[in-house]
Structure formats: structure tokens, C-alpha cells
Structure 1
Amino acid sequence: MEKNERIRQLKEKIMELEGFYTPSEGHRLPFGLGPLESAFPRGIFPMGAIHEFISPGMAETASTNGFIAGLLSVLMQKGGFCLWVSNRRTLFPPGLKQFGVEPDRFIFIDAKKEKDVLWTVEQGLRCEALAAVVGELKEISFAESRRLQLAVESSRVTGFLHRHQPRNEGTLACATRWKIMSMSSKTEEGIPGVGFPRWRVELVKVRNGRPGVWQLEWKEGAFRYIPFSKGSGEAKKKQRYA
């Protein structure tokens, strides 16, 4: 038992050195991502880390903004503000209400150049008063991403980098890399209108975790897991990740 405990403590220490912060029981937040959360180390969504999202087109950009807004609704449920920085903002602020967050709890900064976006994001990540920071940009180097990761390791602020049509995805010092695609929504039986937002969520990379593909829906103020239909191509792909 003592040997197992030492191994566990060593793993914890290694993960801390790699930038993974594990909140105490009383400070863990219910992201409600269902089976997706098993992909993360210890089955806990990495807070106090940098998450990278890649969108190849405008449709994916809109879907990714919605998914990020859902994550922010959890991060901001106990108060705090979010800094949203871009040089070509793609977000429609009133749309945040659909995901349970009020636009007046966001500080929007529209910079002229991407280097200004990076500088502002880094300064925001050093501010412990913020709940989260979102940076919309295209290109970023490993060295630049490393500076952002070092910032969150001291402040424990969670950061999101949303990259639009990057020329080179490369390798960054981020805890995760995501690709989000919209899915056809489904209305409740017998009820006309548009259904709830749905996404195909691909966790391309996750440090010390297990990548995979899932389907999620935003319904009644929370994420809801949607199982793949049996025998579908996505189901088979998910099995290959397991």
C-alpha cells in the first residue's frame, strides 16, 4: 500500500510539473460532459490550463464559440468575469445568453494585430480576478504558447485559444486540442421549431489522457451526452481511440 501511495504521489507531482492543476474536492466544478470527462487525467476537466480549439471554417468557428460558451457558463457560475480578446471577433455577444452567461460579465478587447492579442491574453491570464480568458487568433508559436501556460500555472486562470484557419497546427504547450463541428439538432417530439445545439466533439490531443470523439447537446442549461448510433462510422472511430 505504501509503495502504491508513493507512486500515486509521484504521478501527481509529475502532472503538476506538466501544468495540470487538480482542484480540491470543494472547488471542482460540474462540467457535465459525461463520458468525455474520462478522457482527462483523473477524469477531471483541466482547469488552470490552456485549451486550444481549431476551426477550419466559419461554420466550425460558430460551433466552437457555442461550445466554449457552455464551458464558460460552468467556470463563471460562482461569479467572476471573462476576458475575450480578438482582432477579428467572431462572437455575437447576445448569443451568450443561450448558454447561461450574460454578456455584461465579459470584457471584450478588439486588438489591431495578432501580436497584440497574444500580449493581452498573457496579461489577462496573469490576473487572478478573472474566471477565464479567451483569445481568438490564427497563428501562435510553441514558445508563445509556453509563455501562456506559465502564466496560468501561477494564476490558475483557465485559458481558451480559438484558432481560425491556421496555416500550421503544429505543437503547442496546451493541455488539450479540440475540433468542434455542428450537428443537426432534433426537436422534441410534436414540438415545432429549432432544436437544441448539438456538436461533434473531437478531443484531438490531451496531455496524459485519451483522445476521442463524442456527441454532445446543450439542453436546459447544461451539456448532455448523446450516444452514437450502433454501427455508425463515428462509433467505430471512437472504439479505435479506446
Structure 2
Amino acid sequence: MSGLAKQERLAALRASIANIERRPVLSDPVSTQAHAPDQFIVPAPGLVQEVFADERRNTAALLGFALGQARSLLTPVRRAVIYLQMLAEAQEMGLPYGPGLATFGFDPDALVLIRPANIVELLWAVEEALACGAVAAVIADIAGHPKVLDFTASRRLSLRADAGGTSLFLLRYGAWREASAAQLRWHLVPALSATTQFDARAPGETRWRARLERGVIGDRQNQEWLLEWTENGFHIVDDRERRPAQPVERPSLPGDLFADLADRLSEAG
């Protein structure tokens, strides 16, 4: 077979896989945990979820979304969440901040950080963590599109997550979507935070806009939610309830106040 014929067959195969990816899911909808009507649906444990953002700078939004779900999966038996990030990327992007996690409502002592040297070690660590009965969820932050993370690898991770009852969140970036065995795929965009009661210009509760690109939760498919974080978890915000923040009128400062503020300041410089 000539090189051109091989390329044509590969292109046809990729197109066929892409068509399969776009078809509705034929399996049963993903089961969910009990929730209040205004709370976001939290999928049951033991699933693989891909969470995509368009840009790498939105890694904190992806991590917050994954940790928000992982928090609800913690139990007296499953007391840990594993967060994996390759060493070089952790040095570039930073690590989760303990006091910030506590403010978010997540116990920093429950988060175990692992920094493998390469993607092969990271995937091996993910499989081992999914098999541990003390782990509630595994979060793997993966930049780029490594070839080793193909459909076969994702299928192996899906089987391991199902067998161990441990959820896996794959944090990914960019517009490209590989063939994957993940049951759910999200596209996440950070949204403007809620307003506060006493200062309309100050940031309020964190918000995300989450779109379900793949999979079915209950009877919902290809749906989008505006989510807000509360002490009880993700709250669904009705876009119709949102109102633009009104500017707060403040009295102007007297002209002679600026001279008083500058009194006794050094003129050197």
C-alpha cells in the first residue's frame, strides 16, 4: 500500500471516530446523587469525567469545579483526593493554596499532591490511586495532548474507576478533543462572580459556566448551567435573575483633602 493510500485510510478512520464521538450516548444515563432542586446535579462516583477549558490560564477554574464535586464524594472511609500534576507544569503554574481551599470549604488535609516526572508515570499513578479504597477521587491535570493518553488508555482508566468506585477528573485544555472512553465531558468557562450586598463593585461568590458536551445526566444532554459556589455546594443560577450591578454613588472628596494626605511625605525620588 502506498504512503498516500495509508494517509487516506487514516483520515477516513479519524473521520469515522469523530462521527461516533458526536452521536448520542446509547448507554443508560449516568446516575446521580440526591440533590435539592436548585443544586447542581452531582454524578455518582466511579466515573471518568473530562473537564476542558479553552486556555491554560483557566486551570484554577477547572480545579475548583473538580474539587467541588470531589468534596461531595468524601466519606469516613474514602478520606482522600489525589491531585496529580507533572513536575515541570507544577513549577510553571503553581500548586493549590491550602488557606484558599479551606475558604472554599475543602479540607486541605484531604488533598494529596503527586508530581510525576512525565506522563507515563502520571498515568501509572492514576491507575494505582483509582484502585485504592481510601481515595474518593483522582484529579489529573494534563496540559497538551500526549499520544500515550489515547482511547485505549482512557478505556483502561474507565474500567479501573468503575471497579474501584473512585471518580477520575481529567483536566484538559484547548479546542481539540481526542477519542475517549470518559462517560462525561465538560466545557468550562469562568463567569463573572456574584455581586455582594454592601459593595456592588467587590467580587462575590465564584461562578462557572459549565456545558455538558458528552454524556447524559438523568434526562439532560448537551445542556449548559451557570453555577455558583455556596457552602452547600454548586448552586444553579437562573440567568433571568441576573441584573447588572448598579454603581454606588459616593460623595466627592473636598479639594483640600489631597494636600493633607501628602503632608510630610518625602519629596526625594
TM range (shorter): 0.7 to 0.9
Does 1:82 find its partner at 2:91? no
2:140 and 2:181 map into 1 onto residues whose CA distance is: 15
Q: Is the 8 A contact 2:40 2:227 kept in 1?
A: no
TM-score by length of 1: 0.73
Say how many residue pairs are matched: 201
- Which residue of structure 1 lines up, in the alignment, with residue 166 of structure 2? 157
What is the DSSP-based 3-state SS (H/G/I as helix, E as strand, rest coil) of the residue aligned with 1:187? coil
State, as a whole percentage, how many aligned pairs show the same letter. Answer: 25
The TM-score normalised by the length of structure 2 is: 0.67
Who is 1:212 aligned against? 223
Deviations 1:122-176 (A, max 9, x none): 111111221111111133211000000110121111111111347x412210110
Residue number in structure 2 paired with 1:188: 196
Offset, 1:31 = 5.7
- Out of 123, 126, 130, the residue aligned to residue 125 of structure 1 is 130
Is contact 1:215–1:226 with CA below 8 Å preserved after alignment? yes
Q: Which has the higher helix share?
A: 1
Q: Distance in 1 between matches of 2:186 and 2:141?
A: 14
Which stretches in structure 2 are left out of the alignment for 5+ residues? Answer: 1-26, 242-269
**Aligned in 2, Cα 1:180/1:77: closer, same or farther, shift over 3 Å?**
farther
Q: Does 1:46 align with 2:44?
A: yes
For 2:103, the equivalent position in structure 1 comes to 98
SS at match of 1:229: helix
Please give the alpha-carbon distance, in whole angstroms, between the structure 2 residues aligned to 1:105 and 1:36. Answer: 23
Task: Evaluate the alpha carbon distance shift between residue 98 and residue 181 of structure 1 in structure 2; reply closer, same or farther with a 3 A threshold.
Answer: farther
Aligned CA-pair RMSD:
2.6
1:194: how far off? 2.1
CA distance in 2, matches of 1:46, 1:59: 29
- 1:189 Cα deviation (Å)? 2.7
The residue aligned with 1:171 is 179
Q: Secondary structure at the match of 1:82?
A: strand
How many Å apart are 1:119 and its aligned residue?
Answer: 1.0
Q: Give unmatched runs, 5+ long, in structure 1.
A: 1-13, 23-27, 38-43, 231-242
Question: Which residue number corresponds to residue 6 of structure 1?
Answer: none
Compute the displacement of 1:30 (Å): 4.7
Q: 1:36 to 1:186 in 2, by over 3 A?
A: closer
d(CA) in 1 for partners of 2:38 and 2:129?
Answer: 30
Alignment match, 1:72 = 70
Letter in 2 for 1:198: R
Moved more, 219-228 or 193-202: 219-228
Residue 24 of structure 2: aligned partner = none
CA deviations 1:45-77 (Å, max 9, x no partner) are: 132110111122134222111111211221125
- d(CA) in 1 for partners of 2:119, 2:179: 19
Aligned to 1:203: 212
The structure having more radius of gyration, on CA atoms, is 2
Q: What SS class does the counterpart of residue 172 from structure 2 fall into? A: strand
> Which position in structure 2 is the counterpart of 1:147?
156
